[in-house]
Amino acid sequence: MKKLSWTLLIIFFFCLNISSAIVLFSPAKKWAQNRFSPQEQEVLSIVHGDLINNGSSIKVVKSRTVEGVVLEFYSEIQNGSRYLITRALIPNANDGFFDHRGQAVQLAVVDIDGDGTMELLSPTFDDKMLARLNPYYYSPAQKAFVPFFFSGTSY
């Protein structure tokens, strides 16, 4: 009986040490989250807009995954369906929102720099809960949606 009590006590402390290591150390925590959490996407927001600036309606789906926030850009409906143009991963990000024309939004299609072309704004929070506004635009040269960087011109 005494051996069984000691064995159970040793097993208990071993399990306690393992769980403490998972909670305290980031790589172990990430491993445990990836191992035991479902590998599904949770759709957070959807927006439609003329992001290619040719009159077509692009659909953007903002999702949460284990890697962070994912933006998926889908083509205009062709032959009854849409196809995936590109994906943009915002790593280690949490979903965010901002006030756009009096409404809290998670995605917005707007003309950021006043040049007549539309861009996408996707707000997030980083690991330290600092707000980030992730702008994207369509680059005809790359035929892809890429992060938007201001040229330094003040408006």
In which element (H, E) is residue 73 found? strand 68-74
Do 90 and 143 fall into the same domain? yes
| % the chain with pLDDT above 90 | 26
Q: pLDDT tens digits for 34-66?
A: 666 656 788 999 999 999 888 889 999 999 988
Residues 49, 71 contacting (CB under 8 angstroms): no
Q: Which residues, in sequence order, are CB contacts of 96 under 8 Å at separation 6+?
A: 106, 123, 124, 125, 131, 132
Do 106 and 82 fall into the same domain? yes
Do 79 and 21 fall into the same domain? no
- Model confidence at 125: pLDDT above 80: yes
Do 19 and 71 fall into the same domain? no
Do 55 and 124 fall into the same domain? yes
Total structural domains within the chain: 2
Query: Based on C-alpha coordinates, what's the Rg of the chain?
Result: 22
Q: Which domain holds residue 17?
A: 2-36
Do 10 and 30 fall into the same domain? yes
Q: Which residue has the tokens 């024309």?
A: 101
Do 65 and 103 fall into the same domain? yes
Do 13 and 78 fall into the same domain? no
Q: pLDDT tens digits for 94-108?
A: 888 888 889 889 999
